[in-house]
Amino acid sequence: MKKILCPVDFSENSLNAIEFAVRIGEAHQAELTLLHVFTEKEFGEALSKGLLAKRYRRTEIDNLVQYAEELLQSLTHEVNHMSKGRGLVHCYYHFSYGSLEKYITRYAQEQAYSLIVMGTGGIKDVFEEYAGSHAIKTVERAPCPVLCIPEKVTYAPFAEVVYATNYQEEDDQALQQLVEVIKPFNGAIKALHVYAAESNIEEAMYRDFATQAKAHISYENITFSHLKFKDPAHGIDRYAIDQKANLVALYGKKRSLFEKIFLEGTTKNVAYMATYPVLVLKTP
């Protein structure tokens, strides 16, 4: 993992995501790019609603574009000053215009980024059915894994990691990708399947999944579990909290667990999954 992209809108959420991106960049000795996609409407609304961090508020702004780019330059300078001696190769910035989620995913693909790290608004932005969410649209379209950082989640090394599976054929590739992300942290992977009803078929599928994964994943610190729970999102959340997970990961293509949790609204009106980052893996 050599190139990390972190979209920034100057909100507290995105500033929090920068810390995650920086720490991951340090651990992987990677490059980091802070990306701001300017739209006058969104930037103006952030100012008027007080969504920008206090340090960036200003009562009179003659040139919003210039001001936004100055903020991005300042953040980039701060990151380089603090982190280049800790393993981060370099922090760059990229300032542009356009449709936010479309530009993020296109730029990530054109520049061959390994990971996108982005802050979210928490439960409503990621885990509820929320069609207008920039985070969900970015996750759907992204060419690489996306790490979603819910609001108020503080950084911690990825020591305890839950991989949620629905027995997809891409699990081996997704798990290998997860290993690459967490390897510098020496994290423990706990692969989990949540099922609604006990059956001989479920037991057989679970054994086959565990056997195949053990044979193909060259990572010693991985264990396997399955859990009976009516709703998969609730089950994953309960397990992650019990295990004190620092990260929950899942495979992110349609017809997968990602679609069920992110797109079908199974978590609607349930205020949970806001205590840990979520990594959505994207295999070729």
Q: According to the 3-state scheme, what is the secondary structure of 122-156?
A: CHHHHCCCCCCCHHHHHHHHCCCCEEEECCCCCCC
Average pLDDT over residues 195-205: 88
Better-predicted residue by pLDDT, 54 or 216: 216
CA dist 133 and 126 (Å) reads: 8
Q: pLDDT at position 83, please? A: 92
Which residues are 169's β-sheet partners? none
Min mean pLDDT across 79-93, 120-134, 167-181 is at 120-134
Residue 49: pLDDT band with limits 50, 70, 90: low
User: Is the pLDDT reported for residue 127 higher than 50?
Assistant: no
Q: pLDDT at position 53, please? A: 52
User: Is the pLDDT reported for residue 37 higher than 90?
Assistant: no
Average pLDDT over residues 98-115: 88
Q: pLDDT at position 218, please? A: 87
What is the greatest pairwise CA distance in the chain? 68
Closest CA to 279 of 40, 20, 94, 95: 20
Which stretch, 19-33, 133-147, 229-243, has highest mean pLDDT? 19-33
The CA R_g of the chain, rounded to the nearest whole Å, is: 19
Q: pLDDT at position 122, please? A: 43
Share of the chain above pLDDT 70, in %: 77
Average pLDDT over the chain, rounded to an integer: 81
CA dist 137 and 100 (Å) reads: 10
CA dist 87 and 56 (Å) reads: 28
Better-predicted residue by pLDDT, 263 or 127: 263
Q: pLDDT at position 73, please? A: 94
Q: pLDDT at position 34, please? A: 96
CA dist 56 and 78 (Å) reads: 14
Share of the chain above pLDDT 90, in %: 45
Question: What's the burial of 167, exposed, middle or buried (CB within 10 Å: 0-12/13-18/19+)?
Answer: middle
CA dist 5 and 25 (Å) reads: 10
| Matching residue, tokens 């007080």 | 50
CA count, 13 A, side-chain hemisphere, 251: 23
User: Is the pLDDT reported for residue 204 higher than 90?
Assistant: yes
Q: pLDDT at position 1, please? A: 86
CA dist 273 and 110 (Å) reads: 32
Which residues are 248's β-sheet partners? 162, 278
Report the DSSP pairing between strands 146-149 and 278-281: antiparallel
Residue 107: pLDDT band with limits 50, 70, 90: very high
Residue 79: pLDDT band with limits 50, 70, 90: very high
| Matching residue, tokens 């020591």 | 159
- Contact status, residue 7 vs residue 149, Cβ threshold 8 Å: no
Residues 6+ apart with CB under 8 A from 61: 47, 67
Q: pLDDT at position 273, please? A: 52
